[in-house]
Amino acid sequence: MKDQPTDFIREIIRQDLESGRFDHVHTRFPPEPNAYLHIGHAKAIWINYSIAQEFGGLFNLRFDDTNPMTEEAEYVDAIIEDVRWLGVDWGDRLFFGSDYFEQTYQWAVELIKKGKAYVCDLSPEELIETRGTPTRPGIESPYRNRSVEENLELFERMRAGEFPDGARTLRAKIDMASPNILMRDPVMYRIRHASHHRQGNKWCIYPMYDFAHPLQDSIEGITHSLCSLEYENHRPLYDWFLDQLGIYHPRQIEFARSSITHMVMSKRRFIELVGGGYVSGMDDPRLPTLAGLRRRGYTPEAIREFCSRIGVAGKSKVESTVQIALLEDCVRDDLNKTASRVMAVLDPLKVVITNYRSHDNEEPASKLSPGESTPSHTQDGVEYLDAVNNPEDPSAGTRKVPFSREIYIERDDFREDPPPKFYRLAPGREVRLRYAYFIRCNEVVKDADGNIIELRCTYDPATRGGDAPDGRKVKATIHWVSAPHSIEAEVRLYDHLFSKPDPDDVPPGGSYIDNLNPQSLVTKTCRIEPSVIGAAPGTRYQFERLGYFCVDPDSTPERLVFNRTVTLRDTWAKIEKGMKEGSK
RNA sequence: UCCGGGGUCGUCCAAUGGCAGGACAACGGCCUUUGGAGCCGUCGAUCCUGGUUCGAGUCCAGGCCCCGGAGCCA
């Protein structure tokens, strides 16, 4: 294990273990099954899970499904898939808060018997009115002092379905003058005649989060209930229910949420973006949903690494905004070590190698290197060159790449009038074709409008493989594909969904929608070496010098579709940008 | 306005009264058959004002600023 991470939560847990408050560690991730998980959830999952792991403890996956109006089984499946994909193991501890409804009900009855809860007939509007404000205390409900017997009877009748939605609630009897508004006799149960995704029509009263959550944690023997900062104000209530009931009492600790620049991170906005047609769905590769990131080509390792690197806000428990560059660095770092390299040309420019032809009868067999079983130049003017699959990982091996008289190179890799520091191909200049030969550009062919449509070059047969026997150097190595052997594929070039780091940075009256990046998806047809034929969706590659790409599920046997996960660092782009800004 | 939480490099996170450190970004260099990767270096911060202390980012007081809170959501 690397350096033991430390943060205020782990510190508190260490102290709890030392003091004997707890003798083990047991955490949980409690999503409500009402939305797709996003990378913010990944942080919560990872904090809970990694802490359990480090302390040799247990981790539960629990669905907090106490509101039948918003929850659906579809989300349960999607969430399970996402959490599993992240690489988190909950063993056999997959639970549902709704499975505890009977116990929850019994505890509510117990609180009624203790005079700590009462049935209230106030309407939702009246409840709001009597709750007071931050500066003004609330006023007590006229039903606050009903007898235990009456409360018991009413609560039973609520369960029996005798009252319509909203007619009554069960409330905790705490303090209507508390400066913490959550303590002003909060609602514990509400009436909802609705079908529950798991319980069906068994219940028509449902516990509120504040009542249900501490009970769920208690039932499962959770030691440390790690949740996000917005629950800080809820902690006194969490503790109150547990104390009144006198049951096993986990400790709630809050951590800061993180957002990421150039992204939005809420269910509501995901729905707006999908509904407005700005993205294709909840798994659009531009969305920070786990499903979207997965489709984009992100690895679970990269996301876990990101969660570790952003850490847990310690004493500075303030919501942080992490730069997207950090996320991108994490995925590059992982993919660099694992992704197979392949050559693809996004914006093809044809190059004819005028002195390359069938070497049939021209090339004596004696020129073949020892052990080589086939001629390096075949009758149809094709030869197969060795290319390394991953320079970071020798065990990834090599492959053969076809080379011929007509190839494509990247249009960006040629300049008729090269600026300073541009090392690639230009008239009269020599570059290396990766794993192939040195070529020199002799002629630029243009169409009637003056557009460059073809380059005519010569190659140096002595440089086969990429080294010149005479020791001469070239300043650039460019990628290429053989024109007749390469295949066509669709590439979806993704960029940040929002142009500004903060999507909410808009003039008064504006909307984050205004900050949508019109270039967040650019679709192109590229040419790619034939080794990728048959690649399964989800397969990740590095397109040399361009970036990391992942096969999309939209692919068909006839036509592959690739998503660009992230570009490579592009030093030349930076230089070019610097020159442009310098000349302004 | 009341309650709760909080302000450390551009960003995220450390420093548990004792040399303010790391990562990402930026910048410069080395290296390179990916202008990739790697390696080396540079830049760069304790919100303000007092106080306690041999010594304060850390403790105390006052101020300023930011976040959360008035769902029968979670």
Instruction: Show the 3-state SS of A246-288.
Output: CCCCCEEEEECCEEECCCCCCHHHHHHHHHCCCCCCCCCCCCC
Q: What is the pLDDT of residues A322-338, one digit of tens each?
A: 999 999 999 999 999 99
Q: Is residue A1 one of the residues assigned to a domain?
A: no
Q: What is the pLDDT of residues A395-453, one digit of tens each?
A: 999 999 999 999 999 999 999 999 999 999 999 999 999 999 999 999 999 999 999 99
Alpha-carbon gap, residue A548 to A529, rounded angstroms: 15
**pLDDT band, very low/low/confident/very high, at A2 (cuts 50, 70, 90):** very low
Q: What is the pLDDT of residues A137-183, one digit of tens each?
A: 999 999 999 999 999 999 999 999 999 999 999 999 999 999 999 99
Beta bridge pairs of residue A489:
A526, A560
Q: Give the torsion sign (CA, A20, A104, A197, A283).
A: negative
Q: Which of A310, A321, A319 is nearest to A261 (CA)?
A: A321
Alpha-carbon gap, residue A334 to A303, rounded angstroms: 10
Q: Is residue A369 helix, strand or coil?
A: coil
Asked if A48 and A163 sit in the same domain, the reply is yes
Task: Give the mean model confidence (pLDDT) for residues A88-109.
Answer: 98
Q: What is the pLDDT of residues A267-278, one digit of tens each?
A: 999 999 999 999
Closest residue (CA to C1') to nucleotide B16 in the complex: A11
* CATH number (domain holding residue A19): 3.40.50.620
Closest residue (CA to C1') to nucleotide B2 in the complex: A135
Question: Which secondary structure element, helix H or strand E, spans residue A312, and what is its range?
Answer: none
Residue A309 corresponds to which tokens in the numbers above?
């690197």
Asked if A376 and A401 sit in the same domain, the reply is yes
Asked if A181 and A212 sit in the same domain, the reply is yes
User: What are the backbone dihedrals phi and psi of residue A434, each rounded to the nearest 5 degrees, phi first?
Assistant: -55, 130
Q: Is residue A369 one of the residues assigned to a domain?
A: yes
Q: Is residue A284 one of the residues assigned to a domain?
A: yes
Please count the structural domains in chain A: 3
Q: Is residue A245 helix, strand or coil?
A: helix
Asked if A414 and A495 sit in the same domain, the reply is no
Q: Which of A532, A565, A545 is nearest to A391 (CA)?
A: A545
Alpha-carbon gap, residue A39 to A210, rounded angstroms: 25
Quick one: CA torsion of A57, A63, A64, A65, rounded to 10 degrees? -160
Question: Which secondary structure element, helix H or strand E, spans residue A376, and what is its range?
Answer: none
User: What are the backbone dihedrals phi and psi of residue A577, each rounded to the nearest 5 degrees, phi first?
Assistant: -65, -40
Residue A471 corresponds to which tokens in the numbers above?
């020791």
Check whether A368 has a pLDDT greater than 80: no
- Proportion of chain A above pLDDT 70, given as a percent: 94
Q: What is the pLDDT of residues A62-86, one digit of tens each?
A: 999 999 999 999 999 999 999 999 9
**pLDDT of res. A465:** 94
Asked if A272 and A353 sit in the same domain, the reply is no
* CATH number (domain holding residue A351): 2.40.240.10
Q: Is residue A214 helix, strand or coil?
A: helix
Residue at a domain's end among A451, A479, A507: A479
Residue at a domain's end among A448, A479, A510: A479
For residues A435 and A385, the answer to whether their CB atoms sit within 8 Å is: yes
CA dist list (Å): A285 to A226, A368, A496, A540, A550: 29, 48, 10, 14, 11
Beta bridge pairs of residue A438:
A432
Q: Which of A121, A525, A569 is nearest to A329 (CA)?
A: A569
Asked if A15 and A104 sit in the same domain, the reply is yes
**pLDDT band, very low/low/confident/very high, at A468 (cuts 50, 70, 90):** very high
Check whether A235 has a pLDDT greater than 60: yes
Question: Which secondary structure element, helix H or strand E, spans residue A233, and what is its range?
Answer: none
Asked if A33 and A77 sit in the same domain, the reply is yes
Asked if A327 and A276 sit in the same domain, the reply is yes
Q: Is residue A309 one of the residues assigned to a domain?
A: no
Check whether A314 has a pLDDT greater than 50: yes
Q: Is residue A303 one of the residues assigned to a domain?
A: no
Asked if A277 and A425 sit in the same domain, the reply is no
Residue A48 corresponds to which tokens in the numbers above?
């809970």
Residue A387 corresponds to which tokens in the numbers above?
């290319």
Asked if A325 and A409 sit in the same domain, the reply is no
CB atoms within 10 A of CB A462: 11
Q: ipTM of the predicted structure?
A: 0.96
Q: Is residue A543 helix, strand or coil?
A: strand
Asked if A444 and A576 sit in the same domain, the reply is no
CB atoms within 10 A of CB A532: 20
For residues A434 and A449, the answer to whether their CB atoms sit within 8 Å is: no
Q: Is residue A2 one of the residues assigned to a domain?
A: no
What is the distance in angstroms measured between the alpha-carbon CA of A460 and the sugar C1' of B14? 56
Q: Is residue A352 one of the residues assigned to a domain?
A: yes
Q: Give the torsion sign (CA, A272, A552, A74, A46).
A: negative
Q: What is the pLDDT of residues A548-568, one digit of tens each?
A: 999 999 999 999 999 999 999
Query: Which amino acid does the sequence have at A222?
Result: I
**Rounded mean pLDDT of chain A?**
93
Alpha-carbon gap, residue A129 to A478, rounded angstroms: 71
Alpha-carbon gap, residue A196 to A74, rounded angstroms: 13
Residue at a domain's end among A415, A450, A479: A479
Size of chain A in residues: 584
Check whether A214 has a pLDDT greater than 60: yes
CB atoms within 10 A of CB A223: 24
Task: Give the mean model confidence (pLDDT) for residues A109-125.
Answer: 98
Alpha-carbon gap, residue A214 to A222, rounded angstroms: 10
For residues A421 and A473, the answer to whether their CB atoms sit within 8 Å is: no
**pLDDT band, very low/low/confident/very high, at A508 (cuts 50, 70, 90):** confident
Closest residue (CA to C1') to nucleotide B4 in the complex: A233
Q: Is residue A260 one of the residues assigned to a domain?
A: no
Q: Give the torsion sign (CA, A76, A195, A214, A23).
A: negative
CB atoms within 10 A of CB A469: 9
Residue A363 corresponds to which tokens in the numbers above?
């090339």
For residues A338 and A540, the answer to whether their CB atoms sit within 8 Å is: yes
Alpha-carbon gap, residue A261 to A162, rounded angstroms: 50
Alpha-carbon gap, residue A261 to A39, rounded angstroms: 13
What is the distance in angstroms measured between the alpha-carbon CA of A313 and the sugar C1' of B53? 30
What is the distance in angstroms measured between the alpha-carbon CA of A5 and the sugar C1' of B14? 10
Question: For strand B, which nucleotides have at least one atom less than 7 Å from a protein CB?
Answer: 1-8, 10-16, 23-28, 33-38, 57, 66-74
What is the distance in angstroms measured between the alpha-carbon CA of A339 and the sugar C1' of B13? 29
Domain containing A440: what range? Answer: 344-479
Closest residue (CA to C1') to nucleotide B34 in the complex: A545
Catalytic site residues of A?
Answer: 32, 257, 267
- Proportion of chain A above pLDDT 90, given as a percent: 90
Asked if A467 and A553 sit in the same domain, the reply is no
What is the distance in angstroms measured between the alpha-carbon CA of A243 and the sugar C1' of B37? 57
Q: Which of A294, A374, A282, A357 is nearest to A331 (CA)?
A: A294
